[in-house]
Structure 1
Amino acid sequence: MTQAMDLNADLGEGSVHEADIMPFISSANIACGGHAGDQESMRDSLRLAARYGVAAGAHPGFPDREGFGRRELHFAPADVTGFVREQIEALKAVAAREGVRLSHVKPHGMLYNMAVMDEGLASAIARAAAHSGVRLYYGLAGEHSVMLRAARQAGLQAVGKALADRGYAPDGSLWPRSRSGTLLDQAAAVAQGVRLALHGRTTAVSGEPVAVPARTLCLHGDGPEAASLARALRVALETAGVWLSAPSPAV
């Protein structure tokens, strides 16, 4: 029996491979001026998404271009809500001019990683998404996900997200980047993506089984291998009977 899974990628960040990735994904998270992105890049990404029928979403991050949004920064919750909403609204304005409706929000980099464990931060981000009128929110998959709980409390539709190309810890969190095994090669990432889509679980880097009940799989879109991985994963998913489809807001 066919089942649906979304395949998303982080785009609009200056990668020359973006046009090669877009045909193989079903939703795109577009940088909108925090860690990367400007009016021109947002427009280009939105046009590509529209050309290939890909759902377009906002990918807000810390206002930290020098560190590409990957440095741990600390802001008051109101300030987080402010800069996240500002970024979403910037993309929303460009999307309106292009005739594209934004479907979702997925935080970037360290903003995302910190929100996984910080309920106050997660709530501040979710409030910004809700105020912007976007209904879907992509956050770390899991029964006890802080991000997804904050999204629901803000009135958003929470969408559990897994990473095909990252190793997992036994508790369902991502394996630390500082340790070996955090980044999977293409064959391992494809195999993990199919397991996650079909069974909602995978094997942790340390060997234990781990449940990851995801509706969307994420790929990093900023490397030369991204397009090859996107294509290989899409082919493997469809071969396994998985239909690629972006989530739709509940009526």
Structure 2
Amino acid sequence: MNKSISINADLGEGGVYDETLMPYINSCNIACGGHFGTKATIKKTLLFAKEYNVKSGAHPSFPDTDNFGRKVISITKQDLKTSILEQLLLFYKVCKDLEVEVNHVKPHGALYNYAAIDAPTADAIVEAILDSGKRPILYTLENTILHKKAENLMPIHFEAFIDRTYTDIGALVSRKEPHALITNPDKAWTQFYNMVVNKIIVSESGNKIPCNASTFCIHSDTENSVEILKYIVRKAEEHNITLQ
């Protein structure tokens, strides 16, 4: 079996494992001011990525540092678009200064989840990217409103999550719920293997959901994130799964 996929991680969010995770990932999503991040933190994370030859992308959020971007906030579409564009341009500026290519954009937290089901939110993201002057890859869930809005306008890589559990309809279980996170390396590997090899996501209740993802995310603040990735990279090699 030969399969080529990539692993990505959300970084530049004030965590302590950013550099430690770099050898085990292929791309990183760097907070750029909405939920966390400044020019200095973006630069620090980009330098790690450059050192380890990891592709870098912007990780914009609702402008909501109080809730770390994990709560849907009341904001007009225009104001949201303006905020996302400002975040992207800040990230692009630091990339240009460091001569780092912008690989992708991946929305963060509540913005990511809400854009999957809300058209104005999806439009704000797509329009901000189009107005930014670049056409990076968009990381998003398949068969969502954001996917449909971005289709034919920019390259898209479908994403799935190594360290999150799923509902029967393919949505992520809320972080407010118990068992929303997968922190056991063996359970994370089982989920990863099912998504990559069997092309399914197994929900909490055992429902099998089709999975066509090509990039797989782990959160840097997930308990045991480093141990999980080390285990998955080792097991992937044993199963001839190429990470690139």
Please report the TM-score for the alignment, with normalisation by the length of structure 1.
0.92
State the one-letter code of the partner of 1:140.
L
Name 1:169's counterpart in structure 2: 167
Q: Is the 8 A contact 1:105 1:134 kept in 2?
A: no
Give deviations 1:184-226, integer Å, cap 9, x for gaps: 2322111101211112202110111111210110000124522
Higher mean Cα deviation, 216-225 or 21-30? Answer: 216-225
Q: How does 1:113-192 map to 2 (within 5 A)?
A: 113-132=113-132, 133-141=134-142, 144-153=143-152, 155-184=153-182, 185-192=184-191
Name 2:231's counterpart in structure 1: 232
Cα distance, 1:74 vs structure 2: 2.1
Distance in 2 (CA, whole Å) between partners of 1:61 and 1:128 is 12
Give deviations 1:34-74, integer Å, cap 9, x for gaps: 10011111011101111111110000011111111112202
Q: How does 1:1-251 map to 2 (within 5 A)?
A: 1-132=1-132, 133-141=134-142, 144-153=143-152, 155-184=153-182, 185-223=184-222, 225-245=224-244
Q: Is the 8 A contact 2:167 2:203 kept in 1?
A: yes
Q: Percent identity?
A: 32
Higher mean Cα deviation, 220-229 or 198-207? Answer: 220-229
Cα distance, 1:234 vs structure 2: 1.7
Secondary structure of the corresponding residue to residue 158 of structure 2: strand
State the one-letter code of the partner of 2:146.
M
Q: Is the 8 A contact 1:10 1:220 kept in 2?
A: yes
Cα distance, 1:134 vs structure 2: 3.3
Give deviations 1:161-205, integer Å, cap 9, x for gaps: 100111111221112333333212322111101211112202110
The number of residue pairs the alignment matches comes to 242
Q: Is the 8 A contact 1:194 1:236 kept in 2?
A: no
Please report the TM-score for the alignment, with normalisation by the length of structure 2.
0.94
Higher mean Cα deviation, 79-88 or 234-243? Answer: 234-243
Unmatched runs of 5 consecutive residues or more in structure 2: none
Distance in 2 (CA, whole Å) between partners of 1:190 and 1:131 is 39
Secondary structure of the corresponding residue to residue 68 of structure 2: coil
Higher mean Cα deviation, 87-96 or 120-129? Answer: 120-129
